Amino acid sequence: MEILEAAARLFAARGFHGVSIEDIGAAVGTSGPALYRHFSGKEALLSEMLLDISERLHASAAARVTAAPDAEHALDALLTGQIEFALGHPALITVHDRELGNVPEPARRQIRRLQRLYVEEWVTVLSELHPGCPPPRLRAATHAVFGLLNSTPHSAGELPPEAMAPLLRAMARAAFTEAGN
C-alpha cells in the first residue's frame, strides 16, 4: 500500500508522535481524514505496518532456511535476505526496531511473536554451525548482527549499495564466526 510506504518514511524521519495524520495524507496526495477510509486510526496504521514487516521477514527467513541444503548455505541465505531488506527498505527497518512501543496491545504481542520466531530461525541455524555454543550467546550475537546490518540508514551515502552489501555480509559472517568460540 502506498499509504504505508509514505507513513513509514515519515515515521522513520520524525517518529510516530512527530507525524500527524494530516502529514501522511499530504504525502499521498489526499488530505488528512481521508485515511480513515483505509485505517481505523493512527495506531492501527502503525500496527498493520509493523505486522506486515514482521511477517515478511519471518516468512522469507523460513522459506530460505528450508530451501537451503545445509546450515552454511542457510546462514548465507538469511544474510542475503536481511541485507536486501535493510538496503531496499531502510525506512521500514528503522520503524521496525523503534516503534514497537507505540503499538497497542492486541497487535503488540503478535509482532513480538513474529520477531522472536525470526530470531529463532537464525539461532537454529547458528546452533547447527556452532554446536556447544549456548543459545543465549547466539541470540545476543544475532541481535548484535542485526544492529550491524541495520546500520544502513545511518551510513547512508558512504558507499553505494553494490559495495555496501558485500561489506556488510563479510563483517556479519566474521562477527558470527568469532561469536561461535
Partner DNA sequence: CGTGGATGTTAGTCATCATTAACGTAACCG
Partner DNA sequence: CGGTTACGTTAATGATGACTAACATCCACG
Among the listed residues 8, 16, 92, 125, the single contact to a copy of itself using CB under 8 A: 16
Count of residues that interact with DNA, criterion CB under 7 A: 18
Q: Which DSSP symbol is given to 28? A: T
Closer to DNA by CB, 45 or 57: give it: 45
Give all strands (DSSP E) within the chain, no chain letters. Answer: none
Output the smallest distance, CB 42 to DNA, in A: 4
- 20: contact with DNA by CB under 7 A: yes
* 105 makes contact with DNA (CB under 7 A): no
CA distance 67 to 59: 12
In DSSP notation, 109-129 reads: HHHHHHHHHHHHHHHHHHHHH
Report what 88 binds from DNA, a copy of itself, none; CB cut-off 5-8 Å by kind.
none
Binding flag, residue 137, a copy of itself (CB under 8 A) = yes
| Comparison of 22 and 158: residue with beta carbon closer to DNA | 22
Q: Among residues 1, 14, 113, 116, which is the contact residue for a copy of itself, using CB under 8 A?
A: 14
What is the longest distance spanned by two Cα atoms in the chain? 57
What secondary structure letter does DSSP report for 19?
Answer: S
Site string for a copy of itself, 97-126 (x = CB under 8 A): xxx-xx------------------------
Helices (H) and strands (E) in the chain, counts: 8, 0
Q: 75: which 3 cell numbers?
A: 546462514
